[in-house]
Amino acid sequence: SSPVAILLLSLYLSENLLGGIVSVLMFFYNHGEATRVMWTPPLRESFSMPFLYLQLLVMTWIIKKKCSVLTDYILYGVISLLFMLPWQFAQFTLLTQVLCLQAVYSIRL
């Protein structure tokens, strides 16, 4: 599920099939650094990671669109909720996202 979410995110960001394939290949190549699943029982963050990638995809989609509708924000909220439910440290990731978006907005990029 994480490779599929990485593929969707990288396809959307790069607008190229090669970008998506290279991202997934790099995920598998660096799998030991990207996850701890093989050494431990199923961790809570392992269940949240696909939702993090989907949340980044929806957030990028909303920002690129510039004219979002209510359903976009509802989709973002549902994916964020699914991201936060299994993992107790999700709020720190979301805080980092908000601070980065605030910094980008402040310098008007």
pLDDT tens by residue, 13-32: 999 999 999 999 998 888 77
In the 8-state DSSP scheme, what is residue 88? T
- This prediction has a pTM of 0.79
CB of 68 closer than 8 Å to CB of 74: no
d(CA 56, CA 103): 17
Residue 97's nearest CA partner among 83, 26, 85 is 83
CA–CA distances in Å: residue 83 to residues 22, 25, 51, 100: 25, 24, 5, 18
d(CA 90, CA 55): 12
Q: What pLDDT does residue 3 have?
A: 86
Q: What pLDDT does residue 36 have?
A: 66
Q: What pLDDT does residue 37 have?
A: 61
Residue 35's nearest CA partner among 20, 23, 19, 50 is 50
